[in-house]
Amino acid sequence: MFARLSGQPVPGKDENIPFLVTFGKDGKTSWGDADFYQIFFFSILKDFTQPIYIRVFDPDCGGEYDEIQDEFNTKTKFSVYGGKGVDPEKNEESRGLLKGLNYKSGNLLASKIFGNDAKYDNKYYTFGPFNPSEGDFNTRWNSYIFKIVCEGISGDDGNLYRYFLSSDPDNNIPIEGANAFTYAYHFRMWNDFKSVSHIYPYIDTGIVYIRQSNFDWDNDGNILVVSRYKQGVSVPISNEDNWIFSKIPIEPAEVKSSLDFQFHKRQDELVKNNNVVITLENQRGDAVKFFSSPIGGVPVYQPKVGYEKVKPKK
C-alpha cells in the first residue's frame, strides 16, 4: 500500500503545516487544543528490517516556537508504544478519540518528559533504536505499527513540535514504504496570509460520506475540500473554542484515494498563532485516517465540462 512512499516528516512535506501542537493540561481549550494530547502512528513495511528511530524536533516547551502563557511551566511527555494493542484498526481505543479509554495501549517502548529545557530547544530528540518487529503487525498493510503519544502533563503552554521517522539516529533519513497517520490532527496554522496548509484523509472502501469536525478555527479563512472530482467544496469553520460539523458526500470514484483539505487563511485580517483541531469520521461513525504522505499522491482536480442540446427559447 505504501510501497512508493518514502519520508515520514510529520507534518508531511505536502501538508505544509508548520507544527503539531499540544498544550499543557492546565491550558484552556480556547487556545486550540481540545484534549491536551496528540497521537500519531507510524507504519513500517514488513520488508524493512533495519532499526528505526522516531525523532522529535523541539520537544521542549520553551525557547523558540512554543507558545508561552505568562511563563513556560509546561511539561510534555512523549511515549512510544509497540506490540499488541497499538494497531488502531484492531484496537479502537488506541486511536485516542474517546476520552476515558486507554489510548496508551500497547507496550511502552520508550518515554521521556520534557520541560523548558534549552538542551532540546530547536533540536531533535531521538527515540530508538527500535526493531520494526516491535510494532503491532497489520496484515492489511503488511506493516508494523508504532504509536507515539504526546501529552501535556502539566502547565498551560503550547508545545509546538514535529516528528521524523528515520533510519538514522542523528539524521532524517526516510524509510522506504513507511508512512504516518493520525485520527485527530492538532496543529498550528501559519502566521501569514499566503501559506495554505493541507491534510490528506484517505477514503477507504465503503465510505459514502464523511463528517468533519473542526475546533477553534477562530474563523480564520476557509477550508476547501479538493479531490479529482471536487474543485473545492467549502466546509464551515468553527469560531473560538467551539466545534462545528458538516457532511461531505463521497463519490464512488473518490474511494481508495485521498482528499485534500486545504486551509486558506483569512485575508482581511491576519490571525496569528492559531492552533486548530480537525477530525473526520465516515457514515458509520468510524474515524478516518489522515496520512502525512497522501495515499495515491496529492489529488488534483480534473475539470469536466459537459454540454447538451436544449430547446431554443422562443
Binding mask 130-159 for another protein (x = CB under 8 A): ------------------------------
Residue number with CB closer to another protein (70 or 305): 305
Site string for another protein, 70-89 (x = CB under 8 A): --------------------
Site string for another protein, 207-236 (x = CB under 8 A): --------------xx-x----xxxxxxx-
**Contact with another protein (CB under 8 A): which of 13, 192, 300, 310?**
310
How far is residue 113's CA from residue 103's CA, in Å, rounded to a whole number?
18
Q: Fill in the amino acid letter for 262.
A: Q
Sign of CA dihedral 155, 97, 108, 40: negative
Longest dimension (CA), the chain: 80
Alpha carbon distance 298, 232 (integer Å): 14
How many CB atoms sit inside 10 A of residue 241's CB?
14
Give Cα 175 to chain centroid, integer Å.
19
Q: Could you say whether residue 314 binds another protein (CB under 8 A)?
A: no
Choices 2-10, 88-96, 128-136, 305-313 (CB under 8 A): range interacting with another protein: 305-313
By CB under 8 A, residue 299 contacts another protein: no
Contact criterion met (CB below 8 Å) for 106 and 147: yes
- Closer by beta carbon to another protein, 91 or else 246: 246
In the complex with another protein, the residue whose CB is nearer, 55 or 265, is 265
255 binds another protein (CB under 8 A): no
Stretch touching another protein by CB under 8 A, among 134-142, 167-175, 177-185, 306-314: 306-314
Exposure b/e, 32-65, CB count within 10 A at least 16 = b: bbbbbbbbbbbbbbbebeeebbbbbbbbbbbbeb
Q: Closest distance between another protein and the C-beta of residue 283, in Å?
A: 18
Among 107, 264, 273, 298, binds another protein (CB under 8 A): 264
Instruction: State the Cα–Cα distance between residues 96 and 103, nearest whole angstrom.
Output: 5
Q: Is 244 in the site for another protein (CB under 8 A)?
A: no
CA 5, 47, 255, 40 torsion-angle sign: negative
Query: Which stretches of the chain bind another protein, using CB under 8 A?
Result: 196, 221-222, 224, 229-235, 249, 264, 301, 303-313
